[in-house]
Structure 1
């Protein structure tokens, strides 16, 4: 579905063009037969006007979407970069900040050594939060990509049905006797298509809003979460670590445990 997205859009454009041609033929045929239909002509004029408006609505709605269809492939690839380049490395690094990583404390003592040990847990927590937020971002991007591709797949299916119905209607309007039935079929098809497209638009809007809320929540966690004081990475170099010398004789020296 993602790999064929370009083809999906081209198909939607072709179907939309075909539907527009069939609708125009229905209208042109019916106008040609109006003078031959006698009293039935008045009953046909209103459906024709409604059909023209409905066909214009379908075309306008979809042309706007086709101008900016989104790019689910780019969204998916961005999600994969968040997963592979951020979430996975952060999780791997966090895994090293365990009790086994504190063996330096087994041999060293002093204020600097104590500060070093105290600095590790906040780093571990921050890395875990970063991995979680990056993983959530990756998942949200992938879900949005799938939703966008599904939207256009459904649009394509809707246009396929519309085009088939309009083709049947156009065939019916080739004769004055069946022209009213053809016009009614065309109007019904266009009206149902508009309803279907509106439903798809609402579903996509809800999905995009859900993705926006998810992304905002992830940003808030990074900016205001306890793992990131004041929206910053926890301090690595405390004052006690600023002097890590072994021989200058002050109280902050690192020294071997006895």
Structure 2
């Protein structure tokens, strides 16, 4: 089972709701900043054209921010599904294989307790190869669980990063709205709001880049798993290990021939 996720399913949904509410708040504050500046535009005379340019740039940046985050909102990810699938691989496959590995030894099998002869000996000779095959399956289930858990954690970390960028941005916009409402503070408010938006876009880009880099590393892990599946390590010619001597082919016990299987008599 992979490591516990940092957020429960309900907490992640709450985070997504807060991000969405934050974007709505950003749009509302942006409109109010523009309106506040427009109300004092007539007083600014020749400076107003410069303020208009700043406001237009600010509006464009806010729209870009909403567009970038909106792309991720269409597919926010389902980390708990990934985590649960990883757990299934560990509990329903890996754990069972571990139990079988313990039995794939001459000390644990009962074959030699009831059977003797060349066929029984040939079968016992396959046990080491069966143990190797089981070990390969167990290692693969561990890696699958690990990869799925890492992707799940990356999704949560990404949205926490987005929320962490939006919250202080809203606080800064409130400050710029207060300044714009004073009249004389409109020009610096228009400029400052744009700077704040550029900053949050930079933070969002950094969060996205970090997530992509992390997931790229996990993609390499997936490639390793795919190569392992195709190299048949532990599975001769792609099949479950079995004796190649042909000594276990005859399973009859009473056809008066020299059967390779014999009930143990001693």
Give the whole-Å Cα distance in 1 for the aligned partners of 2:179 and 2:95: 61
- Find out whether 1:197 has 2:207 as its counterpart: no
Q: Is the 8 A contact 2:19 2:162 kept in 1?
A: yes
Partner residue, 2:4 = none
Of 165, 175, 182, which residue of structure 1 is paired with 2:182?
175
CA shift digits 1:221-257 (9 cap, x unpaired)? 1221421234443347974323222222434421236
Q: Does 1:218 align with 2:207?
A: no
Root-mean-square deviation (Å): 2.1
Classify 1:160/1:101 alpha carbon distance in 2 versus 1 (closer, same or farther; 3 Å). Answer: same
Give the aligned partner of residue 156 of structure 1: 163
- Distance in 2 (alpha carbons) for counterparts of 1:141 and 1:95: 27
Say if 1:6 and 1:241 are closer, same or farther in 2 by CA, change over 3 A.
Answer: same
Structure 1 residues 230 and 191, CA gap change in structure 2 (3 angstroms): farther
Q: Is structure 2 residue 121 aligned with structure 1 residue 111?
A: no
In the alignment, the residues of structure 1 paired with residue 21 and residue 222 of structure 2 have an alpha-carbon distance, to the nearest angstrom, of 35
Listed as ranges, the matches of 1:33-182 within 5 Å are 33-102=40-109, 104-105=111-112, 108-182=115-189
Q: 1:213 to 1:233 in 2, by over 3 A?
A: farther
Contact 2:94/2:137, CA 8 A, preserved across alignment: yes
Q: In the aligned structure 2, how far is the partner of 1:230 from the partner of 1:247? A: 34
| Cα distance change, pair 134–236 in 1 and its aligned pair in 2 (3 A) | farther
Relative distance call for 1:160 and 1:231 in structure 2 (3 A) is: farther
Match of 2:19, SS? helix
Indicate if the aligned counterparts of 1:112 and 1:244 stay in contact, CA closer than 8 A. no
Contact 1:173 1:179 in 2 (8 A): yes
* In structure 2, C-alpha distance between the alignment counterparts of 1:235 and 1:210, rounded to whole Å: 37
TM-score (norm 1): 0.92
Q: Secondary structure at the match of 2:126?
A: helix
Q: How far apart are the structure 2 equivalents of 1:129 and 1:71? A: 29
Question: Are the equivalent residues in 2 in contact too, given 1:223–1:232 (CA < 8 A)?
Answer: no
| Mapped partners of 1:204, 1:250: distance in 2 | 68
For residues 109-149 of structure 1, give each alpha carbon's deviation from its aligned partner in whole angstroms, at most 9, with x where no partner exists: 33321221122222111111101110111111112111111
Q: Structure 2 length as normaliser, TM-score?
A: 0.89
Secondary structure, counterpart of 1:168 in structure 2: helix
By percentage of residues, which structure has more helix?
1
Relative to 1, partners in 2 of residues 1:91 and 1:203: Cα closer, same or farther, differing over 3 Å? same
Q: Cα deviation per residue 1:61-99 (whole Å; 9 max; x = unaligned)? A: 111111110011111111111111111111121111123
Q: Does 1:7 align with 2:14?
A: yes
Structure 1 residues 159 and 248: alpha-carbon distance in aligned structure 2, compared to 1, 3 A threshold: same
Alignment: residue pair count: 258
Q: Would you identify which runs of 4 or more consecutive aligned residues in structure 1 move more than 6 Å?
A: none
